[in-house]
Structure 1
Amino acid sequence: MGVHLDVAAAVALADEGGLGGVSLRKVAARLNAGPMRLYGYISTKQELFDLMVDEVYAEIRPQEPPGDWREALGGLAHRTRHAALRHEWLADLLGGRPALGPHALAAGEATLAALESVTDIDTALRAMETVGAYSTGAIRREIANLRAERATGLSKHDWQRASGPHLTGMLATGRFPALSKAVHDGADVDAGTSFATGLDWVLDAVAAQLARPPA
């Protein structure tokens, strides 16, 4: 058995019970192996988490070179969201220091290469950071809502109905006219549509920046 099987076992444990359910001992038990075998090349839980993240980046990295920078950034964001929906614990590890495993580096290389072909390296990096910040925040919010639904047993619409009397009373005071309009007239969209719309807006902003003449 090699490190890949160990990491795959850790990913399975996290899929079942979150990051709190992952430890070197539990991974060893899942593989019917002694924990000292893992300590031979994984010294800390954080190191194991880093390997797990890169394992999932194998699902995120593009399989073919993206056609242009927008496809590169947008595709990376969408694939990251889909991966987080399959592996909810990933949301807890997004947004920190850059992932440096081979699959993560391959994802970053493909995206940066697509951007570098149309702009300077600093602008390319800021574009990646901007889209990454949006997608990380949106993904974390979506996963938090899914966890809240499971914890309370209330779907989004169940929660809205349960909160309705309180919200109606607060809006009736007239102190929140903009929120009142949003509640009564705003469109109710699913998480996927919300993510895609926000991502398009961010990419449009990046496109506007790329179109600006050099200073």
Structure 2
Amino acid sequence: MHDGIVLDKVALTLGKTSFAFDCRIEPGAVTAIAGPSGAGKSTLLNLIAGFERPQSGHILIAGIDQTLSHPSERPVSVVFQDHNLFAHLDIFTNVALGLNPSLRLSPQDRDRAENALVRVGLAGFGKRMPGSLSGGEKQRAAFARALLRNKPVLLLDEPFAALDTDLRLQMSALLLDLHKENANTVVMITHDREEIARIADRILHVEKGQIATDEAKADYLSRFAAPVSALSGTV
């Protein structure tokens, strides 16, 4: 039994594009999904989350076959680039949805939601509306909601792509803090090589709907290192 995520000969065709994934994602690690646009990175993430269903093969999470499970039944939380906050609900309510979609909250639930806001640096933001928050603050709220769900797998679809450099660094640090605290399995799509260097343990590189390489961070980054010139001499 594998305690992480297994895609066993998973195949899917969307329109004219075919995808075939066969890989294992280590439990408790941060795995980056890299590759060119249109290669199938989001499709891979959506298969794990349950937003897409394979036409063949199996998806296992912590040894349990989740191939036919509804997204709400899977032990995963998802944070997207656009953070998915409801514009008509205040930040506390948006975050508390991670505990109970019906918002029937016990006093203990309310305390947990408040503590999640504190944990991501949004103490005192509960009554504010999403439209009054910056991009980084909205993403922090999305992380607070995922934190409350307390699922063993966290899926991230380019969560920091729309943020400026300083905010990306802050959110990367927050992600690592939460990961160390919860020891969860993190799978993150990113195009940013520096982000991979900061965060990832392993990298799945996707090309043309398949896993082209599965390697440790050092091996992946070494392929992009600037070559050392063998030429020398005097001018």
TM-score between the two structures when normalised by the length of structure 2: 0.29
TM-score between the two structures when normalised by the length of structure 1: 0.31
* Higher fraction of strand: 2
